[in-house]
Structure 1
Amino acid sequence: MQIVLAPMEGVVDHLMRDMLTRIGGFDLCITEFVRVVDQRLPARVFRRLCPELEYGGKTPAGVPVRVQLLGQEPNWLAENAAKAVQLGSPGIDLNFGCPAKTVNKSRGGAVLLKETEQLYHIVKAVRQAVPAEYPVSAKIRLGYDDTALTLDNASAIEAAGASVLTVHARTKADGYKPPAYWPWIAHIRQRIAIPVIANGEIWTPAQARQCQQEATTQDIMLGRGALALPNLAQSIRSGQPAMPWPEVLQLLMQYSEFEVVGDKGKYYSNRIKQWFSYLKLQYPEAAELFSQLRLLKRNEDILRLLQQQLSNCYHN
């Protein structure tokens, strides 16, 4: 069983990858996407989104971190893929699943699921640009508006030379509304021979087992579920009980303590609030605390509130 940490734009940055991989259970992380349009990007762009490149392409816990690219032009994606690998990425991931309107309007992400031939050309160009020993993975949804091209898209990606395919078991039109259609992943696995990773609507160990059964694959990718329950990967892998709320508070404090240069903490205060939107789904205490935290804008004020809450936990 392989468990991969999903590339959640705006939430799973290098600090979150560090924390979640220290907790354990993950075999691989994928970065937030590097947007490729019409140029070869400078090294600083890759290092900003993937500081792990400076440390062998791994988190401090030793988990590999694969750079993700999002774009529509095969040649530019190929050039940037080669650059990312030269900088230390242990492979390349291609984003064909992002449902964001701003991305889709500029012909990136899930909208490419309407263009099977273009998927093929992109994956083939990147595969040819990246040395054979480095994996090239792709992530798709079941389709854009419907599933008419699901199997064709999967076959095209395999034929172009992809090493692995991750499938978020919903269309773009489905968004993130339950359910995820895991049996569709089983249909894809019947069509292609490369490994397939199942993704979507895995919040608990029981749902992970159900997904694995319905998708007929042991390999899974965790996104929102891992943010809602920080030790979800370990719970799935070893039956570890849910992380107690005081330990979650300590994680939140750790996240808030990072020094921020230039933006006076706004970046991290926004991201910690986004994290709370997921924690509220598993921890009633998070919903109550968020009513106070959402009004705060400075990291030091957020940290003070978290310290107060942790102290209350130990004195009640």
Structure 2
Amino acid sequence: MDATLREVLTRIGGVDRCVSEFIRVSDSLLPDRVFLRLVPELLQRGCTATGVPVRPQLLGSDPVCLAENAARLAALSPAGIDLNFGCPAKVVNRHGGGAALLAEPELLHRIVSAVRRAVPADLPVSAKMRLGLEDDHLAVDCARALVDGGAAELVVHARTKAQGYRPPAYWDRIRPLREAVRVPIVANGEIWTVADAVRCRAESGCEDLMLGRGAVADPGLPLALALHDADQPGASALDWAALQPLLRLFWQLVGERMEHRHRAGRLKQWLYLLRRRHPEAQDAYDRIRTVTDLTEIGRLMFESPAAPLAC
């Protein structure tokens, strides 16, 4: 998720760490302003306002260029550096980035090794991968290549590139990777509820989980899972009324940080995802779906009798 959502959602609780959206590295050394724009938390010791560390994520395919950019990023004192080998987007894969690299375990090793050598020894380097391209026959080889190169942790999205984001996620396919390497593995993919998280842990053998769209659709999910782990289970950690102040804060931050033309779409995008967990989000989305005037959107969202605010 981007910095605005990180700022809002980490206020709820239950999140131990965030990873930034990927920072694309091609054939140049990026200036500091690029890292700071995408990861403004670097200006506050690499953490959100509530103290949750944020690990910037780099995406690219050239070991030398990635290493040089990782070294520059390391000078900004991040909480760690993550490497993206999981993005299935065609525009990324076409240029040899993201999940496309899972066909070349040796290249994965060279990339991680170069980045590991380029940054301070005490700075964690982690990597995110999928199970493979069309199938998972190279999954263990890829995991070993990343770890042998110096990755201290792997996040594994339990689908191949070809499977994209289509349900289901194959959590059980993570278990062989966990048995093949000696670093922590974090399971990821299709975790929308506490029940999903419990099943994912059981099938993957992983204790740690990475939440993506599930935490955006249900901002209370990380806290609900934390309460479950503390033997304080509940149906929901955050209802629609409790979400209202956070929606207000989100709208305020969007207004401060984003270009005028993108603000309305950003709120609509979040509401669209929130519909999965909160039926009230459908009503809010319908009210503003065709509205472009920002003042009117604010009125309809936060002043309409149909959208009561929590005190």
- Partner residue in 1 for 2:285: 290
- Partner residue in 2 for 1:148: 137
AA matched with 2:241: P
1:295 Cα deviation from its structure 2 partner: 1.2
Q: Is the 8 A contact 1:139 1:168 kept in 2?
A: yes
- Partner residue in 2 for 1:229: 218
**Percent identity of paired positions between Structure 1 and Structure 2:** 48
- Partner residue in 1 for 2:61: 72
Are residues 310 and 181 of structure 1, via their aligned partners in 2, closer, same or farther at CA, if it must alter by over 3 Å?
A: farther
Give structure 1 regions of 4+ aligned residues with deviation exceeding 6 angstroms: none
AA matched with 2:77: G
- Partner residue in 1 for 2:165: 176
1:307 aligns with 2:296: no
Q: Is the 8 A contact 2:302 2:308 kept in 1?
A: no
1:54 aligns with 2:57: no
In 2, distance between residues paired with 1:124 and 1:310?
57
Secondary structure in 2 matching 1:87: coil
Secondary structure in 1 matching 2:303: helix
Secondary structure in 2 matching 1:32: strand
For structure 1, the residue ranges without an aligned partner over 5 or more in a row are 1-11
In 1, distance between residues paired with 2:86 and 2:242?
33
User: 1:1-316 to 2 correspondence within 5 Å?
Assistant: 12-238=1-227, 239-240=233-234, 241-258=236-253, 259-260=255-256, 263-264=259-260, 266-309=261-304, 312-313=307-308
In 1, distance between residues paired with 2:68 and 2:270?
34
- Aligned pairs, number: 303
- Residues 234-289 of structure 1, C-alpha deviations (whole Å, 9 max, x = no match): 1001135241112223322221123336822x323222222122111111121222
Higher relative contact order (CA 8 A, sep 6+): 1
Secondary structure in 2 matching 1:267: helix
- Partner residue in 1 for 2:230: none
AA matched with 1:263: E
1:300 Cα deviation from its structure 2 partner: 2.5
In 1, distance between residues paired with 2:84 and 2:158?
15
For structure 2, the residue ranges without an aligned partner over 5 or more in a row are 228-232
TM-score normalized with structure 2 length: 0.93
- Residues 214-249 of structure 1, C-alpha deviations (whole Å, 9 max, x = no match): 111110000111011111101001135241112223
Secondary structure in 1 matching 2:10: helix
- Residues 107-157 of structure 1, C-alpha deviations (whole Å, 9 max, x = no match): 111111111111111011001111111110000011111112111101111
Q: Is the 8 A contact 1:66 1:90 kept in 2?
A: yes
